[in-house]
């Protein structure tokens, strides 16, 4: 059954059942007006949460063993159900977040697109990592036994919804899609700022579970008090991994809880990034006004509430850098504040900009005007020099929203040194000409150790969902820089390898049997064995 705004229940979905919580009631709110939105959502308690995780554990045995066709069909069914909701979904998300119709329509497409992308991954099956070392009984001085390896799902996964992406990083978004594609049941903790959006998508997903004939514990959607239920979820012995997007404080709290368990588990937390941009002299010999306008657009898009928003831009000293700075000031003057996701996020942005502006050696480059709605502060760019930046930790802190810090540098050596002092980042962006290549060659090794994605030209606030994308980075951008939360490689986070030695063929899992019944590509003695061959 397609759930629309008028059908919202204000309840969690525990293993397919609509369940009222025993705790307090929370409402979503329109951040542009402050108006509370109906219905209220009752928050579950720890016992109700335990019922959801127990159902996920019960579902794991059957769900983790789905054949590729049934598994991929299920992922595509989720995408179909989300699209079947129609414009009701976008309308509710607009009301709860203040984001534009165009932005949310695109985000819905990204959500369904990544589900279908993972369906193709599941059908092809390379993520199963099949490796076969056949027995060599005649080998000397010692025979080799038959050893076969594949990757298996970890178990039930907890996923936390992000405030800034109510669809693409929420109920059926990246972390959920990757975990389900890996064969892991998901217990999803809804973000209390967009509860109605979460329920609509959650019902579409739960319906897909039922329509596919799967155990209902494959998916649960829970509403709960953030620190209480969130910590209980990370501590639950059934949960085998956590996916999180949010603040550094909340992410580190989950990491600490997961590490303190009798059996620790991985937490994949995306937390904090200021995404430096490096402008070189050659880039400033072209259309400086166009460059500045594009920079301001990247800073202010979606009110700056993007994890890849450029919070730092390094600009060379001298006339060309002065021209760029002046152009940024002019471009900012034409902007207006956009409604931020919540009043609390807007208040935090104001406090962050005020704190930054009060630091010694920091000055205002330019500012837009306040928006016409509530919670729409004026975008701002401030400036300083490298020495001041390196000497003050406050200048390295993320301000979540439409703000950036412009840093003037005097030499390539100073720039490379400054880059080496940055914390881990999701992105680093280069604007250069061919004449700058020698300098960039000295910078690249530093950036490779600093960022998960390095761009030449363009701006970091567009993240393509594909096979080669990395949306991750060294701490504190993420809690584990060896992985990504966007793209097909994300499935690897929820898998682990198992080797099978000398098992009879009829006891081996399908991916490892000699007849290759699932028609997977496999590695035979290190050589790629294409589907259809036998080992």
Residue range 276-456 in CATH 3.20.20.70: no
Q: Token pair for residue 430?
A: 């280069």
Question: Is residue 333 classed as helix, strand or coil in its secondary structure?
Answer: helix
What strand order describes the sheet that includes 276-279?
363-367, 380-385, 403-409, 312-316, 276-279, 425-431, 451-456
Distance CA 376, CA 380 (A): 12
Instruction: Report the pLDDT value the prediction gives residue 413, as an integer from 0 to 100.
Output: 96
Distance CA 409, CA 493 (A): 39
List the domain boundaries for the chain.
Answer: 11-27+43-271+485-492, 276-456
Distance CA 450, CA 420 (A): 8
Element (H, E) at 113: helix 101-124
Instruction: Report the pLDDT value the prediction gives residue 226, as an integer from 0 to 100.
Output: 79
Distance CA 41, CA 35 (A): 15
Distance CA 360, CA 388 (A): 8
What percent of the chain has a predicted confidence (pLDDT) above 90? 96
Q: Which residues contact 209 (CB under 8 A, 6 or more apart)?
A: 16, 74, 215, 216, 218, 219
Alpha-carbon torsion 44, 47, 53, 56, what sign? negative
What is the reported pTM?
Answer: 0.95
Distance CA 501, CA 143 (A): 13
Q: How far is CA 164 from CA 306, 308, 346, in A?
A: 7, 12, 12
Instruction: Report the pLDDT value the prediction gives residue 531, as an integer from 0 to 100.
Output: 86
Q: Which residues contact 449 (CB under 8 A, 6 or more apart)?
A: 474
Per CATH, which fold does 11-27+43-271+485-492 belong to?
Answer: Aldehyde Dehydrogenase; Chain A, domain 1 (3.40.605)
Distance CA 491, CA 359 (A): 43
Distance CA 304, CA 82 (A): 27
Q: Token pair for residue 339?
A: 């409604």
> Within 10 Å of residue 435's Cβ, how many Cβ atoms?
12
Distance CA 477, CA 244 (A): 12
Contact 342, 193 (CB under 8 A): yes
Q: One fold for both 11-27+43-271+485-492 and 276-456?
A: no
Active site residues: 270, 307
Distance CA 165, CA 41 (A): 20
Question: Is residue 63 classed as helix, strand or coil in its secondary structure?
Answer: helix
Instruction: Report the pLDDT value the prediction gives residue 62, as an integer from 0 to 100.
Output: 98
Q: What is the dihedral of CA 408, 410, 411, 417, to 10 degrees?
A: -60
Mean pLDDT in each 10-residue stretch from start to end of the chain (535 residues)?
73 97 95 95 97 98 97 98 96 96 96 97 97 96 97 98 94 96 98 96 98 98 92 97 95 97 97 96 94 97 94 97 98 97 96 97 97 96 98 96 98 96 97 94 97 96 92 96 94 98 97 95 94 66
Instruction: Report the pLDDT value the prediction gives residue 5, as an integer from 0 to 100.
Output: 58
What percent of the chain has a predicted confidence (pLDDT) above 70? 98
């Amino acid at each position: 059954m397609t759930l629309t705004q008028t059908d919202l229940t204000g309840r969690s979905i525990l293993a397919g059942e609509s369940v009222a919580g025993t705790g307090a009631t929370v409402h979503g709110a329109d951040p542009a007006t402050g108006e509370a939105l109906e219905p209220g959502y009752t928050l579950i308690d720890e016992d109700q949460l335990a019922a959801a995780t127990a159902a996920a554990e019960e579902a794991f045995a059957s769900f983790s063993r789905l054949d590729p066709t049934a598994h991929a069909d299920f992922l595509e069914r989720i995408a179909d159900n989300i699209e079947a909701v129609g414009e009701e979904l976008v309308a509710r998300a607009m009301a709860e977040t203040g984001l534009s119709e165009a932005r949310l329509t695109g985000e819905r497409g990204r959500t369904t697109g990544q589900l279908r992308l993972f369906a193709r991954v599941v059908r092809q099956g390379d993520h199963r990592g099949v490796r076969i070392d056949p027995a060599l009984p005649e080998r000397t001085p010692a025979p080799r036994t038959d050893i076969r390896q594949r990757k298996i799902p970890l178990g039930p996964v907890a996923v936390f919804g992000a405030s800034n992406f109510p669809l693409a990083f929420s109920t059926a978004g990246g972390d959920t899609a990757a975990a389900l594609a890996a064969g892991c049941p998901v217990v999803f903790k809804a973000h209390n700022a967009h509860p109605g959006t979460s329920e609509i998508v959650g019902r579409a997903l739960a319906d897909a579970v039922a329509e596919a004939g799967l155990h209902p514990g494959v998916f649960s959607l829970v509403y709960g008090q953030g620190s209480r239920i969130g910590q209980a979820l990370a501590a639950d012995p059934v949960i085998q991994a956590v996916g999180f997007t949010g603040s550094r404080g909340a992410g580190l709290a989950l990491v600490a809880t997961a590490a303190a368990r009798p059996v620790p588990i991985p937490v994949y937390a995306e937390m904090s990034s200021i995404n430096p941009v490096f402008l070189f002299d050659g880039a400033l010999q072209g259309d400086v006004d166009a460059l500045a306008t594009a920079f301001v657009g990247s800073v202010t898009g979606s009110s700056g509430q993007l994890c890849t928003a450029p919070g730092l831009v390094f600009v060379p000293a001298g006339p060309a850098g002065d021209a760029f700075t002046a152009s940024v000031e002019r471009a900012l003057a034409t902007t207006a504040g956009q409604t931020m996701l919540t009043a609390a996020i807007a208040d935090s942005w104001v406090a962050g900009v005020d704190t930054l502006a009060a630091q010694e050696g920091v000055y205002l480059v330019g500012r837009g005007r306040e928006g016409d709605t509530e919670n729409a502060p004026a975008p701002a760019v401030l400036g300083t020099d490298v020495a001041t930046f390196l000497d003050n930790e406050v200048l390295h802190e993320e301000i979540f929203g439409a703000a950036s810090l412009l840093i003037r540098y005097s030499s390539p050596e100073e720039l490379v040194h400054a880059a080496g002092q940055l914390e881990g980042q999701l992105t680093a962006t280069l604007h250069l000409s061919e004449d700058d290549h020698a300098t960039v060659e000295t910078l690249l090794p530093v950036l490779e150790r600093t960022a998960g994605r390095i761009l030449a030209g363009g701006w970091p606030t567009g993240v393509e969902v594909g096979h080669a994308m990395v949306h991750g980075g060294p701490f504190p951008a993420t809690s584990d820089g060896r992985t990504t939360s966007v793209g097909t490689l994300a499935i690897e986070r929820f898998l682990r390898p198992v080797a099978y030695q000398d098992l009879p063929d009829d006891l081996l899992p399908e991916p490892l049997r000699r007849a290759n019944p699932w028609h997977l590509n496999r590695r035979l003695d290190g050589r790629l064995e294409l589907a259809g061959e036998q080992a």
